[in-house]
Structure 1
Amino acid sequence: MKAVLSGAAVLLLLGACGTTGMSEEDTTDRSGGSEQPDTKNTNSESAAAEEGVLSEEATFSHVYEFDLDLELTDDEEWEYKYERDDSAEIERGDGKDLKGSQAEEEIEALLGAAVITADRPFSEIKSEVLGELGLQEVDVKEFELEIKYDGGEKLEVDHKPKRAEENKSVHEFDLDIEFTNKEQWEYEYERDDNEAEIERDGSESSVTGTEAHEEIEAILGSIDISTDRSIEEMRAEVLEAVNAEEEEVKKIDVDIDFQDGEKIKFKQDLS
């Protein structure tokens, strides 16, 4: 972040630090048309990318792959595909398809305008992406986005808005967790068919029937899957609900369908 200080504030700062000799140009404020140079710590950004934890400043420069698929309410389909230093392509129902450098420039502008990170509410990310494309929520029937960073972290989100009066009773629920030791846990639930199954590597047998149904409904009662929340928040809450240690998780995939037709899916690869 650029810090712009008035002349008086700079003198106070110099006095506190014991530094002298700064010119009048160095202390000119924004109204004078001059700013102090940006001093971003690039080493910190690189470390953040390696850990898969990206700040809003670092996001665009560390995007390696990006895919966006939109199904619009008029049945048009828009597709954006991007791989840095390799290829880019845009297909839209309006016939204005783009490839090569033109597509790359448009997608990079989109990535520069929309901050796509796991610590932001999904609704904000979706709104920024659609706004940059000149679309509104009511224009979109389904929104699918995948993004991969240099550090290896990969995010996938899929959202279908509700089609009827709001009813957040869960219709279907699927949860897959892959651990760093290669173990996998799987949870499947269908309310209307009264079906449920839990499989956990390391367990002697799977859990089915009433026992699985009750266990999954207890999980659903302790989590809140909503577009108003971030993937990080929902991931932490889900893992706590199933008694999984977050630092031992490599991948998590959550897919939930509500009775009103809304569908929320997110997948995070932390490798």
Structure 2
Amino acid sequence: MTGVADGRVVIVTGAGRGLGRAHALAFAAEGARVVVNDLGVGLDGTPGVGSPAGRVVAEIRAAGGEAVAHGGDIATSAGAASLVAAALDTYGRLDTLVNNAGFLRDRMLVNLDEDEWDAVMRVHLKGHFLPLKHAAAHWRAEVKAGRAPCARVVNTSSGAGLLGSVGQANYSAAKAGIVALTLVAAAELGRYGVQVNAIAPAARTRMTERTFAGTMAAPAAGFDAMAPENVSPLVVWLGSTVSAGVTGRVFEAEGGRISVMEGWRRGPTADKGARWTPAEAGETALKLLAEAETPGAVYGAGAG
């Protein structure tokens, strides 16, 4: 197998199913050796039966590729460290980290328990931070040893993190945090040869096929716009050397569409050069809002 990821060692978290599985298979098809991480839990984060990571490894090997399974909990420091170690011990290097693992515990805000908030923050946000931290420490050590990495990180945000989603306050907040983490990591790690980007995918997975059943269903014929495999080509490109110079960016990927997302930036502004009174501040804010672009609608805001 040869392709844009030929010879690279790639970690994909949450790769037993859905988007993660599609990414792992796509990297392998382009010549990468893949560490397939999946804890093997249910949609709500509870332990499941079988080894989804092992099944994906078997698929890759059956197609002539190289892969190894990792079943550790990447939202723990020990689990994240063992994930990076799995790549280094098995293949002797690490080139790309794709942070993808996550699950849902959806509730309207007033019904959202603290445990449900914490669980989603732990898996999505902490589950991005810890693998990134341990991978970055390895790449920094490589630089100090005189070896220059050409490393890539692809994080997974969501439209919910960019616009918000009714009934998903915990998930939306975690995914928004992943965008900020991406920007900081890109700024901090560039000196070590690491590029960090994020995607906001829309695809059919265990998390979306229930919540958005109407729009996620596969068509009887023709292009399946919600197939997770549609997102993976962009992820593979971002995770390869041919994406040189691209860092600190967020891309939306859905069906056959790729968009560069443009986040918070200063819009209409007024500067008095002195302290405002509340009345002046309010009057000025209303004038500025009249000049500003209308924000995108929160997902689900028109329902019920």
TM exceeding 0.5: no
More helix by share: 2
Larger Rg: 1
Calculate the TM-score normalised by the size of structure 1. 0.26
